[in-house]
Amino acid sequence: MRIYDPNPATLRALQGTNIELMLDVPNSDLESLNDPTAARTWVQNNIRSYPGVKFRYIAVGNEVDPNSVISVNRDCVKFVLPAMQNVHQAIVDAGLADKIKVSTATYTGLLMKSYPPSDGVFQHNVNGFIGPIITFLAQNNLPMLANIYPYFPARKQDEVPLAYALFQPGPPVNDNGLVYSNLFDAILDAHYAAQARLGGENLEIVVSESGWPSCCDSIATLENAGTYYRNLIAHVKQARGTPARPGRSIEVYLFAMFDENLKDGDESEKHFGLFSPNQTPKYQVNF
C-alpha cells in the first residue's frame, strides 16, 4: 500500500502485517530535508522507529511540476533532488538500501508529447528538473515512480475511445509495428520513451497511482470505474509487460483505497476510492 505522509497511527497499525509500504515525504516537507541532518532524523523517526513495517519505497515528493497551478507542487522544484539524495544517503547509512528504494512520484503532466508512445518527450522547461533526477536514479539503481491515469485523456479528448482507456476490445493503435490495445500501456511506454531521451533507458518505472472515478461526469461512472480497476488488475497479473517492454511484470498501486469526500477541487477527484468513506466496498475486485 501507499500512504502520503508518515502517520504514526497508520505505521503502528502496519507493524507485523507483512504489508509492503510506499511512504511519501509530503511536498511541504521537501525544503526541510535539504538539510542532511534533518533527513537522517526523518529516516530515524519514520522508518527505523518502525522495525516491524516492511518499507518498500520512499516517495520524496508527489507530482512536483514547474508548471503546476498548485503552488506546493510548483514552488518546491529545487528541493526535490537534494531531499532525495539526503534521504537516500540516510537509508544507505542505516544499512537499509537493499530493502528500501528512494524515488519521487512524477506524472504524465510533465510530458509534452505522449502519442504515439515512441515519441514520448518531456516538456522542454521541465528537462532541467527531471533530467538530474533521472541521472540520480539511474546511477543508484533506483526506480522512477509515475502516476498514470488513462481517465484524464479519455475525459478531455474525444478521439480517445472509451474502450481503449478501459482495456476493452477495440481498434488497436499501431506505433511503428508495436501494437497497443489499451491506453495504460501507451502512456507507460511514453514515459519510458521520455526517460530514455534523458539518459534513463534502463530506468524501471513503478506505477505509483492509477485509478478511475465513479462520479461525476459522462465517463466517471460506477460501472466504468469498476471495469477499469478489474481490467487493470487482470492486465497486470498477466505479467506480459508493455509492447515496448514485453515480458516484464508491471508494479501498480491502485488509487485509492477510500473516496476522499473532504478533498478540494473537481468533484470527480473525491470518488477514486475502492471503498466509500464508511468502508463499504464499491466494486467486487479480485487480486
Catalytic residues: 63, 209
| Nearest Cα to Cα of residue 205 among 55, 58, 65, 105 | 105
As a whole number of Å, the end-to-end CA separation of the chain is 13
d(CA 185, CA 177): 15
The C-alpha cell 470527480 sits at: 268
- Rg of the chain, C-alpha, whole Å: 19
DSSP string, 5-27: S--HHHHHHHTTS--EEEEEE-G
Q: Which three cell numbers stand for residue 132?
A: 538530474
Q: How far is CA 92 from CA 23, 95, 99, 122, 243, in A?
A: 17, 5, 10, 30, 35
Exposure pattern of 44-64 as b/e (b: 16+ CB <10 Å)? Answer: eebbeebeebebbbbbbbbbb
Is residue 103 classed as helix, strand or coil in its secondary structure? strand
Contacts of 92 (CB under 8 A, 6+ apart): none
Is the Cβ–Cβ distance between 125 and 111 less than 8 Å? no
What's 281's DSSP letter?
B
DSSP string, 210-223: E---SSSSSS--HH
Q: Which three cell numbers stand for residue 140?
A: 543508484
